[in-house]
A and B are shown apart, each in its own frame.
Chain A
Amino acid sequence: MRKFSISPPVAAILLAIVLFLLSGFLPNGYGSDINVAIAQATNIVRLAVFLGVIAAGQTLVIISGFEGIDLSAGSVVTLTAILTYVTVKGEDDKVLLALLISLVVGALIGFVNGLGITFLKISPFVMTLGMSGVVTGLIIIINHGNVSGKVAPIMTRLIARPLSPDIPIPNAIIIWIIFGFLMWLLLERSTFGKHLFAIGVNRVTAKLSGVNVTATNLAVYTLAGALAGFGGFLVVGNTGVVFIALGQPFLFPSIAAVAVGGTLLSGGKGSYWGTMAGAIVLTLITSLLTTMQMPDSVRRMVLGATLLVMISIYGRQRGFRQ
């Protein structure tokens, strides 16, 4: 007899749908108006895009195993958002340059993380935590209290607005779908993806079967940094303003989104679809609690409890007796 099991991404999406349907009954929910309901659902997915992209790098480092985690993602987001903001200065033709700067700066920071982790054998948790402090320091120096800049109209057009007046799908969601497809190619259809899962499962066997563990590991952290940099570029395109604490609130939710999506925090198993589902669930819960006008204390407690319940359902590790 087959044991009943449900894959985490599916469970997360089901949970999101149930929660969303229930939220219609709230006093200030969408009620019986189907158009309002669709608009609300679209908006929640649009908000989830930013968390989802930032959590992409997190997914990669977590799959790579060996306690892989990137605690510098939040501060990289802030840094590249600020760099984009001051580079673009409201001009459309500087947008590509700003995107390039965001990716390169993110990748550089990720590369330094990777160097520390692979060559100096510093645990990823503390290496990226320390790096997060250094990047925050850099932000304070660059920022010097205030920055002057502006996002370009084309960024707002491409990130914050819908596809066209007739098709009310926000561009951000379309970007995310393409991004998700690329991540799937990377994880499931590329040699890099194969090596990534291999080192996540067992580094010794990976090495024996010819995987260059050090290079793969270094590449993972570099890529994760670049993806966080891309996240910063997107976030500033959406908000249009920058501040020192812009990226930090994305950090732990990015890890939670990965965990909720069923990627094992111990590495070797996971998917980006799961992370996308996790990002939607977390964004949904947060925005529901906000619309319910709960005090901050209750909001945090409900978020913590939901997270505990979700990981209790399918985040359990193998018992010793098995």
Chain B
Amino acid sequence: MKRFSWDEMMNRYPAFFAIILLVVALTINFILQPNMFARDTLNSNMRVFLPIILLSVGQAIVILGGGIDISVGGIVSIVNTILATQVGLNGSPEKMWTFVFVSIGAGILAGAINGFFIAFLRLQPIITTYATSFLYVGFALFILPNPGGGIPAEIANVYRNTTPLGLPLAFYVIGVVLLVWMYIRSTRYGNYLYAVGGNAEAAYETAVPVTWVLFSTYVASGFMSALAGIAITMLSGSGNAEIGVPMTLTSITAVVIGGTALSGGVGGVAGPVVGAITLGIIQNIISFSRIDTWWETFVKASIIVVALAAPGIINLLRRKKV
């Protein structure tokens, strides 16, 4: 039998550390909140986590391709304001469906704008999507200058309270996303994506359509941001043009905790999903541990820094022993 090798596990499964972290976080959370696996508690947690999970999946695809997307929160805001103003608190389900599709279209368009500038004009991703994030949040504020509007409570409740076979709706959504990802990963496009993220120059030399692959990652991110926007609108039931802004940096943290390197070409989408759930659980633990409110931000941020540092610390300690 082969001996267990930490290095091999870390190399072969970038999400390995994320899963350990999730198990630790879940255990602590379970001690603090013994009913956390009861159907309603689980559902009320998962429906809060889902928007960030969806956002992290889109972010992960961009990062795998070697880029970064600072505008995802802006796209969430656009979708939220479209739904809150166009469907309205008394809108019909048909109207909701119509504007769900409009929202998805808007997300894809916003992603295509990012992709155009980055892939075709060869601009630097971080500054480009920073610029477009101003465009998108500005546009959301243009649609809805002050918080207000919303979607009907019955429609919001479909998202909040649907638990097929006693499992949260979020589980099914995550399941579908992961299945689609596994399929994409197995196609030629999947290989192209990793090739571009790993070494774009080399990928170009071997006739990979680098420009189109890069472009597609931002479109995918726009699409996932739209889904996240729809989810968070159904969760909150109301409109606010600033709703997506704090979600951007969280999505990037989730991707990195999930073992997908910011340098591109390493990792996957399952890790970031685990990372996003872990971040949510950490927030839960902090709310339940009754630490002084003044200390909450500090404790949470410190836990995240330690989580980010842990793989590096383990590597350093191991290297010393050898």
- Interface of A toward B, CB cutoff 8 Å: 67, 69, 116, 119-123, 125-127, 129-134, 136-138, 140-141, 144, 252, 255-256, 259, 264-266, 295-305, 307-308, 311-312, 315-320
Q: How far is the CA of A271 from the CA of B89 in the complex (A)?
A: 53
A-B contact pairs, 10 of them (CB 8 A): A120-B316, A125-B252, A129-B253, A130-B253, A255-B126, A265-B127, A303-B134, A311-B123, A320-B201, A320-B211
How many whole Å from A115's CB to the nearest CB in chain B? Answer: 9
Instruction: Specify which of A133, A296, A305, A315 is in contact with B301 (CB 8 Å cutoff).
Output: A133
| B312→A119 contact, CB < 8 A | yes
How many whole Å from A200's CB to the nearest CB in chain B? Answer: 15
How many whole Å from A100's CB to the nearest CB in chain B? Answer: 25
| Docked complex: B276-315 residues within 8 A CB-CB of A | 294-302, 304-305, 308-309, 311-313, 315
Q: Which residues of B contact A298 (CB under 8 A)?
A: 138, 142
| A140→B134 contact, CB < 8 A | no
For residue B128, CB closer than 8 A to chain A, the reply is yes
| B127→A255 contact, CB < 8 A | yes
Q: Which of B6-14, B159-167, B255-263 contacts A (4 or more CB under 8 A)?
A: B255-263
For residue B243, CB closer than 8 A to chain A, the reply is no
| A296→B141 contact, CB < 8 A | yes
Binary contact readout B123-138 vs A (1 if CB under 8 angstroms, 0 otherwise) = 1101110111111111
Q: How far is the CA of A300 from the CA of B141 in the complex (A)?
A: 9
How many whole Å from A103's CB to the nearest CB in chain B? Answer: 23
| B304→A133 contact, CB < 8 A | yes
Number of B interface residues, CB 8 Å?
A: 54
Q: How far is the CA of A235 from the CA of B123 in the complex (A)?
A: 32
Instruction: Specify which of A126, A255, A320 is in contact with B204 (CB 8 Å cutoff).
Output: A320
Given contacts A126-B252, A134-B301, A317-B123, contact A311 B133 (CB under 8 A): no
Q: Which residues of A contact B201 (CB under 8 A)?
A: 320
| A120→B123 contact, CB < 8 A | no
Q: Which secondary structure characterizes the binding site on chain A? A: helix
| B142→A297 contact, CB < 8 A | yes
Q: How far is the CA of A55 from the CA of B315 in the complex (A)?
A: 34
Q: How far is the CA of A255 from the CA of B129 in the complex (A)?
A: 13
Given contacts A119-B312, A252-B130, contact A141 B124 (CB under 8 A): no
How many whole Å from A306's CB to the nearest CB in chain B? Answer: 8
Q: Using A130-B253, A303-B138 as known contacts, list a sample of 5 further A-B pairs with CB atoms less than 8 Å apart, ordered by residue number in A.
A: A119-B316, A127-B305, A252-B130, A295-B141, A295-B145
For residue B151, CB closer than 8 A to chain A, the reply is no
For residue B200, CB closer than 8 A to chain A, the reply is yes
Q: Which residues of A contact B300 (CB under 8 A)?
A: 133, 137
Instruction: Specify which of B138, B141, B200, B297 is in contact with A133 (CB 8 Å cutoff).
Output: B297
Q: Which residues of B contact A311 (CB under 8 A)?
A: 123-124, 127-128, 131
Q: How far is the CA of A303 from the CA of B133 in the complex (A)?
A: 10
Binary contact readout B180-196 vs A (1 if CB under 8 angstroms, 0 otherwise) = 00000000000000000
How many whole Å from B118's CB to the nearest CB in chain A? Answer: 10
Q: How far is the CA of A138 from the CA of B294 in the complex (A)?
A: 9
| B138→A299 contact, CB < 8 A | yes
Q: How far is the CA of A298 from the CA of B139 in the complex (A)?
A: 8
Residue of B nearest to A66 (CB): B263
| B308→A127 contact, CB < 8 A | yes
Residue of B nearest to A117 (CB): B312
Q: Which residues of A contact B298 (CB under 8 A)?
A: 134, 137-138, 140-141
Q: How far is the CA of A120 from the CA of B310 in the complex (A)?
A: 8
Q: Which residues of A contact B312 (CB under 8 A)?
A: 116, 119-122
| A126→B253 contact, CB < 8 A | yes
Q: Which residues of B contact A315 (CB under 8 A)?
A: 123-124, 127
| B313→A308 contact, CB < 8 A | no
| A137→B262 contact, CB < 8 A | no
Given contacts A125-B262, A301-B135, A304-B134, contact A317 B124 (CB under 8 A): yes
